[in-house]
Chain A
């Protein structure tokens, strides 16, 4: 029988300050970049026309750019899409007009790109092929952004309510704050890799919210159980015990889920790759925050606002000792 991390007894909570430093080192520069440069939003958010072109031989993005520039389509983004035979051309809408979304402007942009390519590469079916045309007004984009934030906001509220019923509000608050932390790190991650934020990536971020909560709840479930079982131990000990007890599960589950998302990253193609990358990072940050953000946060929340039945507080500061700081059992942590 293979057993990984069975009967582990690591003092996870002791390293929390290092963990804060690590996560701050990820979030702060990432956010600075985010504030300066913003995110690379997809056409769904910015509004514009997206044209995907397939060519039988690699022609190079420069050739396409030259063709478009010659035709007077400036500022178009040209990207290789997976392999050197696929190109994505993005042109913002309202280049000529006043920004109003008209039914014809997409058509016009697509037709202009089409004729520019025909001019530079040769006639359509043999020398290149337009695979898809997408057009979105920026108005839709703004609305979508609003909806994504709305979805996260509502999911937090629902989670708070659900956890308040199933656990108590302190657990809910700690879980939601840990998840919020994951959103921050994920935005930083997206910024570092300059991933294109499309609807499906927003979907990945939202799934990450669910996944991170899921993981936090599994550990909190054990904390809830151990708080009932071990009346004499403080919260610091209970948290460490619970994280250690669930460690084999964490390793196994994250290992298997990571296996599927890494398979997606490597094999699922260009369309799904940003999604898969974000999901892979989400598993990492979700696991990390469950241990190093949610658990210490629960400790601080219990310290500041001890529970009315004092269950958490009593466990946190065992009666009689009166110690202001949480104390771990053997091995005594060096603080």
Chain B
């Protein structure tokens, strides 16, 4: 009795978990606004199963380092730099979940489901990376211009969008103080100016003073609003001369909210990626800090020496492709040809990432497109429809055969099959795997595999009954004897699928994944669920003389 109850609890728990995984959820999608051509976030309520390129249409690109204009010695490093660059441009793609991954050593795969314009996608990917160092707005020119910008926006009829409450502001700066960041000189001033900065103006109500001069934090959900305000011509006109605004890459969370940094920086770079020769990450053995060493060219070194001499104590934003990377470090002293960026106690991983950013800007990897596929969504629509129709017909046939042949036991198997489909889809959603057309085929096929386990068990029970065993013994023996065949055959199929996954590429991998998940789910339902049903059945009818199998 105990074991039956535990088994039922496990099954119900798994079913509830699967159901929960498949519930429609709010998914934030970044889509391109047709009117303005800019990216904006929209929230859609949908079942969280990702559809692959072949099912929803889109673009698949495979890129390699272009060696035609001269050999590239270390293609693995080059492709890593390229990946970093493409990733930093991800927001420019009009797609839900762009896939950017390194395949093998020297190939980069970019998949943009939903993107329809291959020329635009390719231009975004192949554009040369541009790295520059710029000093942040030390004199708060931008902040001083804010009241006037707000006034202009008010005159243009823009309502105050962000409902920035006092509590939020206090929380933000409270967290800041306790953290004790390095931006000490700015702190006192920033705190004093808080009220002023958060006066109810259309733009200023969205901005919070960051921990260093020229850094502003914008609540993540208001980034699109701020973006569209900043793009307005009347705002553009009022941004002080010599100042540019650049978004940061990192999302910082203060308290319960997430903020994205916006930097006001000088419009003149003190140095660009062309002058950078080397950047490597290491851990300083003396101070145990993560640091990035960089080496500049001779002329770059002279320029850098001059500039840093003038800007000691200022902050230097590292900008790759118009995005400020990480938090700008402070210039501690005059720097020549060789410099060190200290990252303090941050993990070495971050230093390696920064070094990669620097190298990406210094040595842009020329990328050649070796594979390109554009798939129209209409093709996917048809395929989904046909695949689903075929799947339904196939499953109905399986159900009919099982119920007619195995009667009540067949009904148990079919019920288990229902759970099987639920589990498989839920695991696909839960692990974030993408459903592709071959995957759909793998799903239909694994229904057959799921049925096979039950067929093996039922046949074995029939054999045992035929040998004159009692119903209860026959069921026990049937499961016991069928087990080795089920496990050996399924494990070998799963191993094959696993090798497919390791060796194969995109579509083959999708197929392998659904097959592996299908095999795992079928083991659970066909063995565990059906066994439990039998246990309950036999418990209810202990004197059962014949079994409906």
Contacts and interface: CB of A to CB of B under 8 A. Distances in A.
B390 A135 contact: no
A263 B393 contact: yes
A249 B379 CA distance: 39
A134 B456 contact: no
A124 interface: no
A2 B445 contact: no
Contacts of A9: none
A3 B462 contact: yes
Contacts, number: 230
Interface stretch (B127-135, B152-160, B296-304, B400-408): B400-408
Contacts of B507: 199-200, 203
B500 A206 contact: yes
Contacts of A91: none
A213 B492 contact: yes
Nearest to B510: A203
B383 A200 contact: no
- By DSSP majority rule, is chain B's interface helix, strand, loop, or mixed? helix
Contact of B493 (A134, A203, A213, A256): A213
Interface string B383-404: 1001101110111011001101
B405 A272 contact: no
Contacts of B459: 246, 248-249, 252
A186 to B, nearest CB: 15
B488 A166 contact: yes
B281 to A, nearest CB: 33
A3 B459 CA distance: 10
Given A158-B499, A210-B493, A257 B445 contact: yes
Contacts of A1: 407, 549
Interface in B103-117: none
- By DSSP majority rule, is chain A's interface helix, strand, loop, or mixed? helix
A153 B466 CA distance: 43
B504 A214 contact: no
Contacts of B369: 103
Interface stretch (B79-87, B219-227, B357-365, B370-378): B370-378
Given A256-B448, A264-B390, A203 B511 contact: yes
Contacts of B10: none
A135 B549 CA distance: 54
Contacts of B373: 132-136
Interface in B456-506: 456, 459, 462-463, 466, 481, 484-485, 488-493, 495-497, 499-500, 502-505
Nearest to A258: B448
A195 B487 CA distance: 34
A151 B503 contact: yes
Interface of B: 62, 68, 118-119, 122, 126, 368-376, 378-379, 382-383, 386-387, 389-391, 393-395, 397-398, 401-402, 404-405, 407, 437-438, 441-442, 444-445, 447-449, 451-452, 455-456, 459, 462-463, 466, 481, 484-485, 488-493, 495-497, 499-500, 502-505, 507-508, 511-512, 515, 549
Interface of A: 1-4, 6-7, 52, 54, 100-103, 106-107, 129-137, 139-140, 144, 147-148, 150-151, 154-155, 158-159, 162-163, 166, 199-200, 202-203, 206-207, 209-211, 213-215, 217-218, 221-222, 224-225, 245-246, 248-249, 252-253, 255-257, 259-261, 263-264, 266-269, 271-272, 275-276, 279
6 contacts: A102-B368, A151-B499, A151-B500, A253-B448, A263-B393, A267-B390
